[in-house]
Copies of this chain bind each other. A is one copy, B any other.
Amino acid sequence: MSGNLSAIQHSQVTAEIVNQLAFILGSEHVSTSPSAREHHGHDESFHKCAPPAVVVWPTRVELVSEVIKVCNEHVIPVIPFGTGTGFEGGVTAVKGGVCMDLTKMDQILDVRAEDFTVTVQPGVQRSTLNNYLHDTGLWFPVDPGADASLCGMAATSASGTNAVRYGTMRENVANLQVVLADGRIIHTSGKGRSTKKTSAGYNLTNLFVGSEGTLGVITQATLRLYGRPETTASAVCSFPDVQSAVDTTVQTLQCGIPMARIEFLDEAMIDACNKYSHLSYTVTPTLFLEFQGGEKAVNENVQAVLEIAQMNGGSDFQWAKKLEERNHLWKARHDCWYASKSLIPGSSAYSTDACVPITSLPECIIAAKEDIETAGVKGPIVGHVGDGNFHIFLITDPDDPNSEKNIRWVAERVAKRALSVGGTCTGEHGVGLGKQKLLLEEIGEEGVRLQWQLKRMLDPNYIMNPGKVLPQLP
CB distance from A90 to the nearest CB of B (A): 11
Contact of A138 among B254, B301, B448 (CB under 8 A): B254
| Distance, CA A138 to CA B253, complexed state (A) | 10
| Contact (A197, B159) CB under 8 Å given A203-B210, A207-B202 | yes
A256-B228, A301-B294, A442-B193 as given contacts; A199 in contact with B423, CB under 8 Å:
no
> Chain B residues near A195 (CB, 8 Å)?
355-357, 387-389, 422-424, 427
A470 at the interface (CB under 8 A from B): yes
- Which of A192, A211, A357, A359 lies at the interface centre, i.e. has the most chain B CB atoms within 10 A of its CB? A357
| Contact of B137 with A254 in the complex, beta carbons under 8 Å | yes
Any B CB within 8 A of the CB of A461: no
Q: Is A196 on the interface with B (CB-CB < 8 A)?
A: yes
Q: In the assembled complex, which residues on chain B have CB atoms less than 8 Å from the CB atom of A206?
A: 170, 203, 206-207
Write out the residue numbers on chain B whose beta carbons fall within 8 Å of the beta carbon of A65. Answer: none
Partner of A200, one of B258, B294, B424: B424
| Distance in angstroms between the alpha carbons of A357 and B448 in the assembled complex | 37
Is A451 interfacial (CB-CB < 8 Å)?
yes
The yes or no answer to A209 lying at the interface (CB within 8 A) is: yes
Most chain B CB within 10 A, of A113, A195, A197, A198, is at A197
A210 / chain B contacts, CB cutoff of 8 Å: 199, 201-203
- Interface positions, chain A 172-203, Cβ under 8 Å from B, are 184-203
Q: Contact at B439–A200, with CB atoms within 8 Å?
A: yes
In the complex, A431 Cα to B201 Cα: how many Å? 7
Partner of A255, one of B215, B227, B250, B446: B227
A250-B114 in contact given A202-B211, A256-B293, A258-B258 (Cβ < 8 Å): yes
Contact flags A285-299 to B (C-beta < 8 A → 1, else 0) = 000000011111101
**Given A190-B443, A227-B254, A389–B296 Cβ distance below 8 Å?**
no
Count the copies. 2
A366 interface hit (Cβ, 8 Å)? no
Instruction: Please tell me if the beta carbons of B425 and A196 are within 8 angstroms of each other in the complex.
Output: no
The listed residue (B113, B159, B199, B423) touching A426 by CB distance below 8 A is B199
**Bound Cα distance from A275 to B297, whole angstroms:** 38
Q: Contact partner of A447 among B201, B451, B458, CB < 8 A? A: B201
Most chain B CB atoms below 10 A, which of A199, A300, A357, A451: A199
Return chain B residues, CB-CB under 8 Å to A158.
199
A residues 424-450 near B (Cβ < 8 Å) are: 424-431, 435, 438-439, 442-444, 446-448, 450
> Cβ of A229: which chain B residues have Cβ within 8 Å of it?
256
Does A115 lie within 8 Å of B299, measured CB to CB?
A: no
State whether A444 touches B227 (Cβ < 8 A).
no
Determine whether the beta carbon of A469 is less than 8 Å from that of B201: yes
Chain B residues with CB below 8 A from A301, complex form:
293-294, 297
Interface status of A204 (Cβ within 8 A of chain B): yes
- Distance in Å: Cβ of A433 to nearest Cβ of chain B: 14
Rounded to whole Å, the gap between the CB of A383 and the closest CB of chain B is 12
Is A446 within 8 A of B296, CB to CB? no
Q: Given the complex of chains A and B, what is the CA–CA distance between A430 and B295 in angstroms?
A: 40
Residue in chain B with minimal CB distance to A164:
B196
**Does B187 contact A444, Cβ atoms closer than 8 Å?**
yes
**Contact indicator B200/A443 (Cβ below 8 Å):** yes
> Do B186 and A447 touch across chains, with their CB atoms under 8 A apart?
yes
**Interface pair A454/B451, CB less than 8 Å apart:** no
Q: Return chain B residues, CB-CB under 8 Å to A191.
A: 444
B447 touches A387 (CB 8 A): no
A435 to B454, CA, bound (A): 26
Among A229, A300, A425, the most chain B Cβ lie within 10 Å of the Cβ of A300
Taking Cβ atoms with an 8 Å cutoff, the residues of A that contact B are 112-117, 137-138, 156-159, 163, 167-168, 170-171, 184-204, 206-207, 209-211, 215, 226-230, 250, 253-258, 292-297, 299-301, 304, 353, 355-359, 386-389, 422-431, 435, 438-439, 442-444, 446-448, 450-451, 453-454, 457-458, 469-470
Q: Closest 4 interchain pairs by CB?
A: A297-B297, A227-B256, A206-B206, A198-B424
For the A-B complex with A186-B446, A189-B424, A200-B431 known, give 18 more contacts whose Cβ atoms are closer than 8 Å: A190-B424, A193-B422, A195-B357, A196-B358, A196-B388, A196-B427, A197-B428, A199-B424, A199-B430, A201-B442, A202-B469, A256-B293, A258-B293, A293-B300, A294-B297, A296-B300, A297-B297, A453-B458
